[in-house]
Amino acid sequence: MREDSEFLQPGRLLENRYRILQLLGQGGMGRVFLAEDERLPGKKWAVKELKPGPAQQELLAKEARVLAECSHPGLAAVTDFIPANAQGVCYLVMEFIQGQTLLQVLREQGPLSWAKAASIGIELCQVLAYLHEGRPVPIIHRDLKPSNVMLDENGRVRLIDFGTARHYNQGADADTVRLGTLGFASPEQLLGRQTDARTDLYALGAVLHFLLEGGTRHPGGERGALPGEVPPEGQAVISKLLEEEPSRRFQRASEVETELRALAAQGMSIAGRRTTPMTESKSAAPLPPPRMRIVVGGLTSGSGATFTAIALARCLHALKLPHTLLELPGTAPDLYHILMGDQHTPKGYRYWTELVCFGSEGGDARAAKDWVTGCTEWAPLAPNRTLEKWDSACAGLLLDRISRQVVIMDLGSSWTSPAHEAILAEADLILLVCDPSPLHLSRSEAARNWGLLGRLKQKNRRIEIIANKAVSFKGRQEWLESLPDRPFCQIPEIPSQAVLSALWQGRLLADQPEVHPVLQAALEPVISLILAACSHPGKRTSIWQRLRPAGKRT
């Protein structure tokens, strides 16, 4: 295959790195190919081929750099940009996402239910809020449509193809008009007027209408009635999004998200909620509260699992969601020391792990005093005591003791222990924390644990990677590309001044005013899942929510 060929073809090696495998799709904005990374065997990328005009090449390169700096789990990451060659062709290298576009889903399944469409709408709002409000310079998508939104293999919404090619018209797609697509483009786009965040919100309303109506496009703007299943409040949200005058629409994506989540809180079911049938006896026992079990582990010891678990707990505390942070055997008793247990352990407190392992020695496990700070219930390991008796049966007894909606289980690097297999099997979400330290990544332990991670995913476990200390450094991109999956969250390194200040004041680092907002923003994707699963007031209900009976403590 000639390297100087103007356009890509299967078999070509681009930049001595990306081996082109096959054409994925094409349109008026360019062609997209599947490529394999020859530097990272097995890693696949989507390579977009573009041919902008000479005056637009510099703008394209600038916007590609901006997109590469974006980091959100709902976006397809842009990882590389190859400037125009002698023929004027340039390339954008992006994350390859396996799944289906909403257009493909619609063609296979027909109209979506209000529950499913609203759930997708909430996730799109989160992505748009990040693009519009979460960056120094707002990014406006300008071409939001069903074929540009994917549901990945884990069912997550991913916004794709907002690469800079929308600014360039190669004349092949008659639907593309003034940086938008007929049926989804806002009136201001079609009239050539200034666009802003409200332009994307109009397209969001058009997408929701399209999904609910079953795939009918309305290039002229006139739309038919929505199915009767859509509640009046839901129809009002979509109507406001589709207002012709931008000033009459919602002004921010976060406002739309709040409205959709409020519908869930009012009982207008978003996918996954269990409701009581109207014919059911009023005397029937109420459903138990939703339970969510979250495992936090580290790729290796020292990756930051305990720090992440505490940060997540305190974010839930700020949202007034009751939860338990449970430290399990196999790890060092760090939680006790972080909490300054020698000063703050409640009088009469009994360590939970000891109660289930040595119950006959300690009396009634349910009579022990709790250790609570706000909405966080602490269950640290006892310092200076080894639990040789610990096994999966003990773990089951321990989990039965928890009555709060959420339990965060800090397993540290011991998540690979056979004693914790049952806990991993029962977890609703597994978070694996890694940091960029070469000393950690080079350990044989790391390679072994990546292998275990793959086997767990084959068992349909929901596993997400959290990148800790995700600072800027020369090897950062290589580090992120070396991970088996794109990080679900990236936690920046906390300045040492804040760490020392918290230690000397005897306070939790995650509660410090200058630290808490940073952690809350970094962990927002996980927090959103938790709030969804627990039907938290004003929050959506997840489609993978599980309800399990829970024993009540007395």
Distance CA 464, CA 485 (A): 8
SS3 assignment, position 444:
helix
Give CA torsion, residues 187, 190, 193, 195, to 10 deg: 70
- Identified catalytic residue from 37, 80, 143, 161: 143
Q: How far apart are CA 12 and CA 38, in angstroms?
A: 12
Q: What angle do CA 64, 9, 99 make, to 5 degrees?
A: 60
Separation CA 417–CA 446 (nearest Å): 14
- At residue 131, the 3 state secondary structure works out as helix
Place of tokens 């257009």: 103
Type of residue numbered 461: R
**Residue 176, phi then psi, degrees to nearest 5:** -80, 115
Q: How many residues does the chain have?
A: 554
* C-alpha 491 chain-centroid distance: 13
Distance between start and end Cα atoms, the chain: 74
Q: Is 143 a catalytic residue?
A: yes
DSSP class of 292: E
What are 348's two structure tokens? 């009469």
Q: Quick one: tokens of 389?
A: 């008796």
How far apart CA 440 and CA 426 sit, in angstroms, is 28
* CA gap 309, 432 in Å, rounded: 11
SS3 120: helix
Give the separation between CA 353 and CA 419, rounded to whole angstroms. Answer: 14
Distance CA 346, CA 348 (A): 6
Q: Which residues of 461-473 are buried (b: 16+ CB within 10 A; e: fewer)?
A: bbbbbbbbbbeee
Phi, psi of 421 (to 5 degrees): -60, -40
Which residues are part of the catalytic machinery?
143
